[in-house]
Amino acid sequence: MQGKTQFNVGVDGGGTKCRAEIFDNKGSALGAGIGGPANVARVGEKATGSIVDAVTRAIEDAGLAGRVLLSQCRVSAGLAGATVEAARQMLDQWRHPFATFSFITDLHAAVVGAHGGKKGAVMVVGTGSCTASYAHDKVQQYGGHGFTLGDKGSGAWLGCEAVKATLEALDGVAPSSALTQAVCEFYDAYSTGEFVNKLNNGLPAEFARVAPLVFEFATRQDPIAGDLVHRAASYLSAIAERALSDCEGNLVLIGGLSELVRPYLNARVQRAIVPAQFGPEWGAVLLDSMRVQ
Amino acid sequence: MQGKTQFNVGVDGGGTKCRAEIFDNKGSALGAGIGGPANVARVGEKATGSIVDAVTRAIEDAGLAGRVLLSQCRVSAGLAGATVEAARQMLDQWRHPFATFSFITDLHAAVVGAHGGKKGAVMVVGTGSCTASYAHDKVQQYGGHGFTLGDKGSGAWLGCEAVKATLEALDGVAPSSALTQAVCEFYDAYSTGEFVNKLNNGLPAEFARVAPLVFEFATRQDPIAGDLVHRAASYLSAIAERALSDCEGNLVLIGGLSELVRPYLNARVQRAIVPAQFGPEWGAVLLDSMRVQ
């Protein structure tokens, strides 16, 4: 409490970048800034540098450089990986340069922001997939267990399943289709050996790159693409319904593939879809202010 | 050509160890020795040390230490990872201490040994899975594309699918069963978060550990276990039929889970199964001698 005005800053931290927004005291965004990766479970202390960078740039973007110090910022961050105990301990011990610093998971910030702090649900479909509900100050997650154990229906899952189907076609134990031929062209691989060399250690994002192609071929009645998209949508509808039944609210779609999968979701889930009210940056700030009260 | 007797030595090199057998000139094994990992794609030059160790110990085991030198050994190795170009180059350039050294893949050595150098097929079901045919001096592989892209029906696949089914049950989007409860007990994990912490970066072998449990519950009519075992067997039957149609021969089963999956394979595949004639060590020697002729 230095007697100076304090500004709320919300941070949305993910695996490739983090984004900060600085708000005035009415909740209007004054500026935004981008920093490096901030998945605290993966990049550890490097995340704290990314957060400081993003906040600094948001202050600059707001035209407040030199007038607003980091020590005047109340920073609230929604961070990927913040469920991991070691990452939480690191953040708790961080000697941050801000007025205050609090954190929750990126999903928590997203669901609170999406419904403006009221009860509701979100479904994320991008490289990964999951749903979450927010009600009675509690967040409940479904799916989103990572590339190895789940993330069914996600871009990484759709892409990896498409590659597996292509390998089975190349091995002659399953039918080929226009999709499997397109997958060969996409990865410039025409034998099982070439696929293994290129994708055996492929990261989720490398598989997710081909996912839009699966949706494209599904609309063209390709049987393999259609089957994959329907399996994806069936699982996503199931985890969406779990989240919706928790909160008896609406559903906000998030992530680069969510609009592509939307027409395949079941009718109950589709009827619950609404646009997001706010982003995760404001969600993090809202949560922090609700805690303080 | 030092005028001394030469001995054939066969090596079977895998991811955790390699095994050498030294043979007399009639093909009888005189002794065997174990060395370290020899997957040349994974451990690189370390594999050459493992091979020398295994051969040295095989000489000792035969009671020939001090009487038979490494330079009298014609060594033929079947090595995991020997399809990878960089690994092949390393082996080609190796200044080995033997009379001669040749190598092929572990699968090649296995299928040639299994049928005593005659045409035939093998099916490997252990941590991984694949089939191979051998006919007209040519080896053709089906499946075996690794944990990320395939190895369907393998121990790693069965275990990982059982864990995924357990996570869906814990999320309330799929039924639980005696198997999913047993999987929780096996990994001492009772929430999706605990599973993710323990197995998110799990190696294939970590998933394969639970596979025998899946077979056990399949015999007890557990619906989830039964479905997994039938999906495994259906795929394995398909890749076995591909290999059998190549060679019009018989099928030898290899690997720790092959006897467990055997009763679920389709009737045509089951009728083709015969015991192995020789191990991969002799297969490697046979291949080398066929090449020399």
CB atoms within 10 A of CB B16: 11
Torsion of CA B242, B246, B251, B256, to 10 degrees: -50
Q: Which of A127, A146, A133 is CA-nearest to residue A84?
A: A146
The CA distances from residue B65 to B56, B174, B193, in Å, are 8, 61, 55
Cβ atoms of B223 and B180 closer than 8 Å: no
pTM (two decimals): 0.90
Question: At residue A227, does pLDDT exceed 80?
Answer: yes
Cα Rg for chain A, rounded, in angstroms? 21
Q: Is B192 on the interface with A (CB under 8 A)?
A: yes
Contacts of B237 (CB under 8 A, 6+ apart): B265, B266, B268, B269
Structural domain B7-116+277-292, CATH architecture: 2-Layer Sandwich (3.30)
Q: Once rounded to an integer, what is the mean pLDDT over residues A219-224?
A: 98
Question: Which residues of A are less than 8 Å from B15 in CB distance?
Answer: none
Contacts of A191 (CB under 8 A, 6+ apart): A170
| Strand, helix or coil for residue B34 | strand
Topology match between the domains A7-116+277-292 and A119-275: yes
Q: Count Cα atoms within 13 angstroms, Cβ side, for A71.
A: 6
Label residue B3 by pLDDT band (50, 70, 90): low
**pLDDT at residue A2 in the model:** 46
Domain assignments of chain B as residue spans, ordered by start: 7-116+277-292, 119-275
CATH number given to B119-275: 3.30.420.40
Contact list in A for residue B167 (CB cut-off 8 A) is 145, 149-150
Residues facing residue A22 across a β-bridge:
A9, A31
Looking at residue B94, what is its pLDDT? Answer: 97
State residue B220 phi and psi, 5-degree precision. -95, 15
Q: What are the phi and psi torsion angles at A232 (to 5°)?
A: -60, -50
Question: Which candidate in B164, B171, B199, B200 is best for mutational testing of the A interface (most A CBs within 10 A)?
Answer: B171
Ranking A228-232, B1-5, B212-216, B275-279 by mean pLDDT, the lowest is B1-5
3-state secondary structure of B89: helix
- pLDDT, residue B1, reads 43
Q: Considering chain B, what is the average pLDDT of its residues?
A: 94
Strand, coil or helix: B45? coil
Query: What is the pLDDT averaged over residues B218-232?
Result: 98
What SS3 state is found at B63?
Answer: coil
* Beta-carbon separation of B164 and A150 below 8 A: yes
Are B263 and B133 a contacting pair, CB within 8 Å?
no
Query: Which of A65-74, A240-249, B222-231, B284-293 is predicted with the least confidence, judged by mean pLDDT?
Result: B284-293
| Residue ranges of E strands in A111-270 | 120-125, 129-135, 138-143, 251-254
Task: Scan residues 143-162 of B and list those with Cβ closer than 8 Å to A.
Answer: 143, 145-146, 148-150, 152, 160
Residue with tokens 């057998």: B21
pLDDT given at position A211: 97
Are A83 and B193 in contact (CB < 8 Å)? yes
- Interface pTM, i.e. ipTM: 0.89
Bridging pattern class, strands B120-125 and B129-135 = antiparallel
**Amino acid (one-letter) located at B140:** Q
Q: Which among A83, A143, A192 is the nearest to B171, CB-wise?
A: A143
User: Taking a contact as any Cβ pair under 8 Å apart, which residues of chain A between 13 and 52 contact chain B?
Assistant: none
Of A146, A172, A239, the CB nearest to B242: A172
Residues 6+ apart with CB under 8 A from B186: B209, B210, B213
pLDDT, one tens digit per residue, over A111-139 is 999 999 999 999 999 999 999 999 998 99
Burial class (CB in 10 A: 0-12, 13-18, 19+), B176: middle
CB contact under 8 A, A239 and B173: yes
pLDDT given for residue A280 in this prediction: 96
Question: A120 - beta bridge partners?
Answer: A134
**Chain A residue with minimum CA distance to B85:** A197
Tokens representing residue B139 in the block:
């080896």
Q: B288 pLDDT exceeds 80?
A: yes
Q: Which two tokens stand for residue B218?
A: 């399949």
A30–chain B nearest CA distance, Å: 37
Q: Are B139 and B124 in contact (CB under 8 A)?
A: no
DSSP A129: E
Interchain pair A196, B163: CB under 8 A: no
- Touching check for B163 and chain A: CB below 8 Å? yes
- Contact indicator for B81, B39 with CB cutoff of 8 Å: yes
Q: Where are the beta strands (DSSP E) in A28-161?
A: 29-35, 73-79, 100-105, 120-125, 129-135, 138-143
* Angle at alpha carbon of residue A85, lines to B176 and A87, rounded to 5°: 130
Q: Decide if B149 and A171 are in contact by the 8 Å CB cutoff.
A: no
The minimal CB distance from B173 to the residues A142, A167, A197 is found for A142
> What is the pLDDT confidence band of residue A266, given thresholds at 50, 70 and 90?
very high
Residue of chain B with shortest Cα separation from A148: B200
Q: Residue A41 has what pLDDT?
A: 87
The residue with tokens 């990261």 is A203
